[in-house]
Each structure stands twice: as C-alpha cells, then as structure tokens.
Structure 1
Amino acid sequence: MRVAAVVGSLALVHLAAACSGGGDSTAKGGPSEISDAPAAAVVAPAKVEVIAGLTGCKPKIRIEADELRQGLCHTKKVDYLITTFPEEKYKETWLDSAAVYGGKYLVGSRWIVSAKEPEMLEQFRTKLGGTVRQLQGIGPNPEPSSS
C-alpha cells in the first residue's frame, strides 16, 4: 500500500510540476538555515497544512503514507502539490524518482512544492525559503549540443 502511494505521488509529478535544503537545525532550537525568508524557520520541517497556510491555501490531502504526506492546493492563480516527508532520506528518494520526469521543484527541509506553473515557485520561495531545483528528466535534449 505504501509503495502504491509513493508511485502514485510520482505519477502526479508529471502533471504538477525542488533541491535539497539544508539540515534540520530546528531540532536544536535554532532557526532554519534554508534561507532568510521570514517563514522558513516555521516551515522546516512542517506539515502540509502549515506550508499550505503560508502559501494561502487549504490543502486537500491526497496521500497519507508512512513515507510521505501530500496535499493538493487549488487557487485562482495556480494548482500545486505540497509533499512532506518524515525523514530527509525519503525526500531524496522522491527527488531521485522524480528526476525521470524533469521539471522545477521548490525543495526545503523535508518538504517539496511542485506547481503546474513553475514560475510560481519563486513566489513561494520568498514565503517558504528553500531552493528551486531543475530536474533534467530523460529523453532527448531539445537543444542541439555543440560538439
């Protein structure tokens, strides 16, 4: 059942359109080192509902598994997914699997935001912190290489 949830989540990556954040310094009581965004210390690590609230939405939880939780946010501007992980290793595994699809992702400490409109990720980054990561995907490169 858990594997199906992870695979289902990865299938959504292709439809919805993030980078390794720093370590979790909040466990020691210090502020997050992800970025200087005001909400970053609150977000790392956080629940789907907390991240969604910071971006102005109430999420619909789509996946609830031991390895991840995922919520869908639907707004007038953009639809996006927020995925949280109980451990950093699950986030890294998710990103490795998502690399097949390519795309841009906003990644923080144990969370990822993916959007149908990747340009919205910068707007979210100013609220959440994190880093925007471009994953290459597989298949031919649309740009000719100069050899």
Structure 2
Amino acid sequence: MELTVAPLCRRVSDLGKPYRMLRSFRPLLFQTSELIASSPVVGELIPYSTLLSFMFSRAPGELRSPHQRAEWSIARYSQWMDDHPSERDRLTLIRGALEAYVQSVRTRQGKEFAPIYPIMLQLLQRATSGSLP
C-alpha cells in the first residue's frame, strides 16, 4: 500500500495518524494473538475495534464476526463502519458478536471457548474500561 501511495505525496509520513496506524499494524499481522493483545500500540495508535475486527478473521467459524452475525455483506459492514466512526458504537457491535458466540456455546452445552475468545474479551474489557469518545 505504501508503494502505491508514495508517488502521490512527497513523504508518506506526512499522511499523519492513518499512516502511522498502517505502519504499526503491519508487524502485528503475523504475531500470535497474545502478543498482538499486549502490544503497546493497541489503543494508542490502533483502535481496539480495528484490532478486534482483525482477530475475528483468526477465530474459528463459530465465532462469527459482527457483519456475519448481522448477515451483512462486507460492503454493508464497511458502510456501517464509515457511518459510525465512534469507537463506542463499533465496540458495542463487537460486544454483540462476542455475546452471541457465548450464547451459542452455552446453547450447544459446550465446555470450552475458542482460545482466541478470552483474548478478545480481555481487549474489549480494556477498551471499555476507560472513557471512549
């Protein structure tokens, strides 16, 4: 992405926070979920909602992402995200998906949650423990 944008501006670093977020996210792509959750850039440069959305892609199919749970297309989900820039709104949607997963495990009388679930729950709790815009 940097290579595509570079010809359009003198210094890509002049793009500000979105560029810094992109650069901070790149090293996390191939880290374990535990390492990602403990990264100092989470919540600082990378919004919790962005990271949690990424973690849904690592989760088993039964832990459905917010757009899957709502039966939205990716385009519809992207539009919703554009229409709801508030981190609080985004985290509320994510919380709903995580709660639906817990309910599905209980309904099928499961004894365990997917290993990524407690990590995601911890991130969600950390995100909502402070004051969000």
Q: TM-score, normalised by structure 1?
A: 0.29
Larger relative helix fraction: 2
TM superposition score normalised by structure 2? 0.31
Which has the larger strand fraction? 1
